[in-house]
Structure 1
Amino acid sequence: MCRLSGTKSKKEMIRVVRTPEGEVVIDDTGRKAGRGVYLCRRLSCLEKAYKEHRLERSLKTDVAAEIYEKLRHALL
């Protein structure tokens, strides 16, 4: 999600996954099965992703407001 490609490792980012069952979850381990996207650990990245529906487009499903709140708390 962050346009700083090549500057951050996966471990420095937050992974969000759409599981095979269709549930959207934050993947703390980086190993959950499913379609995943990475979000940098800056509040500005999260706000841009929310405003532009980037998670929804990348995961090809709706993302509940609860997930955005959990991401916000993880960044603070």
Structure 2
Amino acid sequence: MKQRKIPMRKDLLTGEMHPKKEMVRIVKTAEESVAIDPTGKASGRGAYVALDPEAVKAAKGKQLIEKAFSIKVPATFYDELFAYVDHQKARQELFGTKR
């Protein structure tokens, strides 16, 4: 039986490749705002972030999301992203694959 191809995505914060299921999608909407996309299907320009809370903390100082989407991102979004990534990482460690 042929083995299925695993979709890979590049992490916006570190530049490393990871399986898509092990990442979180963030999206720039038509209203010029940034949001977390837990379904991975929201319309808009998307980017992927690995489940690494330390990388999210570092990204806040470097403003990597602002540079990627060319818009102003509120500091509260980084806090929200950190909380979401931290929760998903803990969930993955407890139950295995997140999705």
Deviating above 4 A after TM superposition, structure 1's stretches of 4 or more consecutive aligned residues are none
Structure 1 gap ranges (5+): none
Matched residues in 2 for 1:23 and 1:3: separation?
Answer: 23
Matched residues in 1 for 2:15 and 2:57: separation?
Answer: 14
Describe how 1:1-76 pairs up with structure 2 within 5 A.
Answer: 1=12, 2-5=14-17, 8-76=18-86
Percent identical residues: 31
Task: Give the total of aligned pairs.
Answer: 74
Matched residues in 1 for 2:47 and 2:72: separation?
Answer: 14
Matched residues in 2 for 1:38 and 1:55: separation?
Answer: 10
The higher relative CO (CA closer than 8 Å, separation ≥ 6) is in: 1
How high is the TM-score relative to the length of structure 2? 0.67
Residue 71 of structure 1 aligns to a residue in which SS? helix
* Aligned residue type for 2:51: R
Residue 58 of structure 1, CA deviation: 0.5
**Alignment RMSD:** 1.3
How high is the TM-score relative to the length of structure 1? 0.85
Matched residues in 1 for 2:21 and 2:77: separation?
Answer: 19
